[in-house]
Structure 1
Amino acid sequence: MNAPDHFQTAGRLGQPLHGEVVIDTHGHLGHSPDFPIVRPTAAALVASMDRMGIQLTCISSIPAIFGDAEHGNALVADAVQAYPDRFFGYLVMDVGYPDKVAAQLARGLAGDFRGLKVWSYGARTGLPYNHSNYEPVFAFAQQHALPVLAHVFGPELDELEGYIKKYPRIRWLLAHIGSAELEKYKRFAREYPTVWVELCLSSCPRGLIEHLVAAGLEDKVLWGSDAVFLDQASQLGRVLFAQIPVSAKRKILGLNARRALGLEPGK
């Protein structure tokens, strides 16, 4: 095992990380239709971030991904306006209603959003990513070189691969690595310069982060928590206590996210 480093020390003491870049690439606001969430507000999430030393959380809203994009996107816009240095907004589109999509995209880009969040199906009904309704969404992301956070639990990777090849200006954040199809996630991260894989997962497979670093993917792994579905602390601890070099922890916790989100200094 590695000797304790300052990441582990901060985790054990319950102290915030100081002097590190920590970016949560996968967060949410708002209530869930499936189960109660305690304090799903922007203020509560900022308080959580402050306790741990997280500078920025990238958010979409739970109501939006469950079908109420107009209301849900408004929650995110309000949060970004209230805390412009703490939140990065992902826009969610009503892909089931294609007549709405163009206006939603235009308003979002003109407003408080810097990326897109897509979720095909799984915990609720939806359209597969290779459905024609997604074409204008990804074409828009290509035109504006936007990051796209895609909910993936394995099989959806095949639905996205054609778009990844077709639209090289999109930076793809493929969520929930470790859920299924691990080797396929790894192949995507290796083969496509515009693909990163994101860690948040409730089951927290032991050794996953060490495995990804040993596989040479430390530059393509992003930390995300899935807050407020999940607690930021438990998901952060997976990286803090991983048996990997400090340099790899820095990349996973924030430096890689700067590249994936277009937040590199000077850009």
Structure 2
Amino acid sequence: MADEIIDVWMQQPNQRFLDQRWLEPLLRWTDLDRAAPPVAATLGAMDRAGVRIGLLSAWHGPQGVLISNDEVAELVQARPDRFAGIATVDLTDPVRAVREIRRCVRDLGFVGVRVVPWLWNLPPNDRRYYPVYVACVEEDVPFCTQIGHTGPLCPSEPGRPIPYLDEVLLDFPQLVVVGGHVGYPWLAEVLSLVRKYPNFHVDTSAYAVHRLPEELVEFMRGRGRTRVLFGSNYPMLTPAQCLDRLDDLGLGAEARELFLGGNARRVFSLPL
């Protein structure tokens, strides 16, 4: 595959992350091993799909740190040619969260911030997110989140786009937002927001491309070709599993290039 591929949603999970009870459905559906994969296995999975760069996400929830920003930073520093970092923060400590975003972006070179609403059971219009949004705008990095239902054993409601994310995009017109996991079953709401807000994007993580909703694929073929990014959600799905039937989407050359890597390079300001 000649196209440059950037995977915008990956994890390098540790045992602490894989031992979470809410992962049970995903482990059952994907036959994922409870043992944390070595970095060599992650790089091998990227190579098999032709992924040049993977954006590795840190994780923090109400129970504490799951994958720390510093753990991600070590991986990025060891292989800056293959990985970039996505930071996370503790929503219960807003001052420290802002300082941590500044540290991760300015000192560690991270390219975005991710908070997963279902993990906190807090929709993105909750006041505890707002200092995070200000910091993302000030540091000029995207805010990454999850949209749609949840596979893990947690409530899905925080992933509903309207009214929650709609209010955020109204309040922060300069904030760049990337909504991961497509947004099913609220695709009409997702597409209405993408059309309404020029800074809102969608990534296809957690989906094999041949299972993407047809209305999203149609959007990608046309006016939405600059607004959808490739992601896998590795290790739950490998990039190769996600891209196996890419040709079936019927994307033109420009739409394909933008989906696989061009949009990610622009949205996350990745160096050439």
Does the TM-score normalized on the shorter chain lie above 0.5? yes
Matching residue's letter, 1:143: E
Q: CA deviation at 1:245?
A: 2.0
- Taking the TM superposition and a 5 Å limit, the aligned residue runs for 1:203-222 are 204-205=211-212, 207=214, 209-214=216-221, 216-222=223-229
Q: How far apart, in 2, do the equivalents of 1:167 and 1:54 lie?
A: 32
Choose 205-214 or 137-146, whichever is displaced more.
205-214
**Pair 1:202–1:82, CA change in 2 (3 A):** same
Partner Cα distance (1:159, 1:112) in 2: 30
1:138 alignment partner in structure 2: 133
Residue pairs, 1:1-267, within 5 angstroms: 17-18=1-2, 20-30=3-13, 31-32=17-18, 33=20, 34=23, 35=27, 36-37=33-34, 39-62=36-59, 64=60, 67-69=63-65, 71-109=67-105, 110-121=107-118, 124-153=119-148, 154-202=159-207, 204-205=211-212, 207=214, 209-214=216-221, 216-263=223-270, 265=272
In structure 2, relative to structure 1, the CA distance for the partners of 1:135 and 1:219 (3 Å cut) is: same
Measured in 1, the distance between the counterparts of 2:193 and 2:64 equals 31
Residues 206, 119 of structure 1: alpha-carbon distance in 2 compared, 3 angstrom cutoff: closer
Count of matched residue positions in the alignment of Structure 1 and Structure 2: 245
Q: What stretches of structure 2 of length at least 5 have no aligned partner?
A: 28-32, 149-158
Conserved in 2, the CA contact under 8 Å of 1:91 and 1:113?
yes
Shift of residue 91 of structure 1? 0.5
Q: Bigger CA drift: 210-219 or 200-209? A: 200-209
- SS of the equivalent of 2:143 reads strand
Report the Cα distance in structure 2 between the residues aligned to 1:206 and 1:169, rounded to whole angstroms: 29
Report the AA paired with residue 264 of structure 2: A
Q: CA deviation at 1:60?
A: 0.5
Runs of 5+ unmatched residues, structure 1: 1-16
Mapped contact 2:207–2:232 kept (Cα < 8 A): no
After superposition, the C-alpha distances for 1:61-120 in whole angstroms (9 at most, x for unaligned) are 35x357433852222111101111211211010113335323322321222422100111
CA contact (8 A) 1:23 1:57 kept: yes
Indicate how the Cα distance of structure 1 residues 105 and 150 shifts in structure 2: closer, same or farther if over 3 A, else same.
same
Distance 1:166 1:60, change over 3 A: same
1:263 counterpart SS class = coil
Q: Using the TM superposition, name which of 127-136 and 38-47 deviates more.
A: 38-47
* Separation in structure 2 between the aligned mates of residue 239 and residue 158 of structure 1, nearest angstrom: 33
What RMSD over aligned residues (CA atoms) do the two structures have, in Å? Answer: 2.4
Partner of 2:255, secondary structure, is helix
**Per-residue deviation, 1:191:** 1.7
Q: Is the 8 A contact 2:175 2:199 kept in 1?
A: yes
SS across alignment from 2:241: helix
Q: Quick check: 1:128–1:156 contact (8 Å CA) kept in 2? A: no
- Alignment TM-score, normalising by the size of structure 2: 0.80
Q: Distance in 1 between matches of 2:266 and 2:34?
A: 31
Give the deviation of 1:127 after TM superposition.
2.1
